[in-house]
């Protein structure tokens, strides 16, 4: 029973982070200027990525017979590390937007790292989280590359 509770909490925290990531990139897209079509397109891909990850996580929560988090706030311990990031996805120029997005991607990496530190996760859940973390790392690195090219 404890394992199910811990697993559900971890999964729902990651669902919330992906919800916030979606919301953050939607805000970031709105902040960009018309000439930033490359970033608008990239951010749309990242929104779609988080929607896919959220669905996979939510499927596992449902399989455990638990309720899926749908909002963008929760009291989970992993999520609390992400809360301050949410407001930072806004900016007014390309450099600021990329800086804030990189900070958000760092926080997502940290949240996934914390999730993987939970000892009671079943191996299939651990594998899912690990795979998502690796893919999100690629997104992080792309944002960092673009940010560095602005300097």
* pLDDT at residue 122, rounded to an integer: 94
Please tell me which residue, 90 or 6, carries the higher pLDDT value: 6
Indicate the average pLDDT of the chain. 84
Q: Is 121 exposed, middle or buried (0-12, 13-18, 19+ CB in 10 A)?
A: buried
Alpha helices in 32-93 (DSSP H): 37-63, 77-80
Measured distance CA(77)–CA(75) in Å, rounded: 6
Q: Give the whole-number percent of the chain exceeding pLDDT 70.
A: 83
Given a contact cutoff of 8 angstroms between Cβ atoms, the answer to whether 85 and 103 are in contact is yes
Band of pLDDT at residue 138, cut at 50, 70 and 90: very high
């Amino acid at each position: 029973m404890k394992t199910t509770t811990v697993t559900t909490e971890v999964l729902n925290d990651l669902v919330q982070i992906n919800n916030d990531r979606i919301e953050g990139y939607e805000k970031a897209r709105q902040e960009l200027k018309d000439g930033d079509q490359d970033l608008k397109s990239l951010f749309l891909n990242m929104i779609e990525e988080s929607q896919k990850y959220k669905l996979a996580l939510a499927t596992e929560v449902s399989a455990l017979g638990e309720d899926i988090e749908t909002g963008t706030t929760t009291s989970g311990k992993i999520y609390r590390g992400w809360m301050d990031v949410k407001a930072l996805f806004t900016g007014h120029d390309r450099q600021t937007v990329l800086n804030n997005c990189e900070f958000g991607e760092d926080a997502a990496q940290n949240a996934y790292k914390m999730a993987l530190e939970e000892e009671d996760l079943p191996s299939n859940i651990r594998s899912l989280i690990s795979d998502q973390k690796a893919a999100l790392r690629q997104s992080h690195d792309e944002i960092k590359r673009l940010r560095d090219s602005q300097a």
